Chains A and B, each alone.
Chain A
Amino acid sequence: MEKIDCYIPETLQEALEILHREDVIILAGGSDLMVFHKNEPSLIPEFEKSVMIIRNLNELKGIRINSNGECEIGALCTSNEIAESTIVPWHLRQAASRMGAVGLRNSATIGGNIANASPKGDMPGPLYLLDARVKLTSLNGSREMLVSDFIIKFKSIDLKKDELITKIIIPYSERDFDYIFWHKVGTRKSNAISKITVGMALKFAEDEIVKDFRLSATSTGAKTNRNRDVENLLIGSKITEENISRVIEAFDQVISPRAMPVFRRESTKRMIRRFLSQCLLHPESRVIDTYDSYYVPGSPKPVFNI
């Protein structure tokens, strides 16, 4: 067996040099990898390759608004840090606040959630919805791409061997929309992997015309679903009963849930109908609820700094 080593770099430069010369497993929070590689109690987890622990790289931490007004989140930010930050877009805060339970949320990182590329992962949904980009860095420089392009398919990402995800950049927030929606259906409030999660956002132009409409759904196929053609069915038009049905039917063609397809398809339809028909009524609250209030007490309340 090849010798398994473990690197604990203290700077990003050091980490990139290791990645440049060796094929290693990148370990951030470890909440996916440590379960995947777990061994019997008291025995060392079994990794097939050397491991580089990046959990403590300060360059990959912190959340800030950049000079273009976009929210930049370090790849090592944890779910709790994201949920608690008032400058992170609302949809992502909601998703982060409902991952696992509190202890897990102090380990799970956003970089790990994206790189894991699970169609049930909670963070890609909001990131697709808000056109978020990942920044990938190697010794040779950096590149950026949409999270929705970076995740190629189930468990597959466009990451080169010498690259690290360093940042996530989110150009939109709830301030760009009039109405917002995010709902995760799990079997319980904590430690529940999503059964289905839908995020939506809508902005009106003059005269009830829809200026922007976005819709993403998780746990509804091999990857997170968002489809611009479906959204374009509504953009530039008014919300009518007929348009709502067209959007619902078109999105139903996009998703491909394998397990529990009837439940997942019907729930998705209902959530879209609920959101759009509420938007039409111009309610005072910009957060459109499901029928039952789904706020988990203690989870972050929406913040609008307009």
Chain B
Amino acid sequence: MIKDIDFILNGKKVTIKVNPLSRLLDVLRDNLNCKDVKEGCSEGECGACSVLLDDRIVTSCLIPIGAVQNHEIKTSNYVTSTEKGKIIAEAFADGGAVQCGFCIPGMIIAAYDLLSRNSNPTEEEIRLGISGNICRCTGYDLIVSSIRLAVERGGDIWKK
């Protein structure tokens, strides 16, 4: 059972012929070459596969591609090419937030989602904002402080 699914991926309209029950995660990685979207747990717990669906964070392993018909998806590579996303990526690099890097695309999506809803989060709020994203390397502290750094560097940009 193959259907045409149209959606906007990273700012561009795409139409793909797929089984609508395929996971968004697989379609992004296998059909559309978005290897920045990672697969960890495959059941919604780890956040490695996080993307933005209509600008809100979701885990793409839980979403059948058919549900995305006519919606907008953004992955971390696209997010980090935007003005806000660049600030987050640079803060992650400068703040030492990255070790192996596997969780980072999901962390960037989570940070972006958080800062677009809360322009000046407390440490506790940051920890809650990334609590659906598991990192096996860093112990989180440097990720949290890097998100604070992005808040400070971005200033008023987060209010827009």
Residues of A within 8 A of B (CB): 3-6, 8, 27, 29-31, 34-35, 38, 41-45, 47, 51, 53, 55-56, 80, 100-104, 106-107, 188-191, 296-298
Contact = CB atoms under 8 A, between A and B. Distances in A.
Given A5-B1, A44-B22, A103-B58, A55 B118 contact: no
B83 interface: no
A298 B43 contact: no
B1 A6 contact: yes
Interface in B47-62: 47, 50, 53, 56-59, 61-62
A298 B125 contact: yes
Contacts of A55: 67
A220 B30 CA distance: 43
B124 A298 contact: yes
Interface residues of B, number: 44
20 contacts: A8-B3, A8-B69, A29-B62, A34-B61, A38-B42, A41-B39, A45-B21, A45-B22, A53-B66, A100-B44, A101-B47, A101-B132, A102-B57, A102-B113, A103-B44, A103-B58, A106-B53, A189-B128, A190-B132, A297-B128
Contact of A53 (B30, B61, B67, B110): B67
Contacts, number: 119
A3 B19 CA distance: 13
B105 interface: no
B63 to A, nearest CB: 6
A102 B129 contact: yes
A190 to B, nearest CB: 4
A27 B45 CA distance: 19
Contacts of B23: 34, 45
Interface in B1-39: 1, 3, 19-23, 26, 29-30, 39
3 interchain residue pairs of minimum CB distance: A101-B132, A190-B131, A55-B67
A297 B114 CA distance: 13
B64 interface: yes
B81 interface: no
Given A44-B22, A45-B23, A298 B66 contact: no
B131 A31 contact: no
Nearest to B43: A35
Contacts of B3: 6, 8
Contact of B44 (A35, A47, A51): A35
Nearest to A47: B21
B62 A30 contact: yes
B99 interface: no
A34 B64 contact: yes
B64 A297 contact: no
Nearest to A298: B125
Contacts of B133: 101
B63 A191 contact: no
B19 A6 contact: yes
Contacts of A5: 1
B132 A104 contact: yes
Given A56-B69, A103-B50, A297 B124 contact: yes
Given A5-B1, A41-B42, A31 B125 contact: no
Given A47-B21, A106-B57, A34 B63 contact: yes
Contacts of B30: 42
A191 B66 contact: no
Contacts of A4: 1, 21
Contacts of B122: 297
B67 A30 contact: yes
Given A4-B1, A27-B67, A107-B62, 5 more contacts: A55-B67, A103-B50, A104-B44, A297-B128, A298-B124
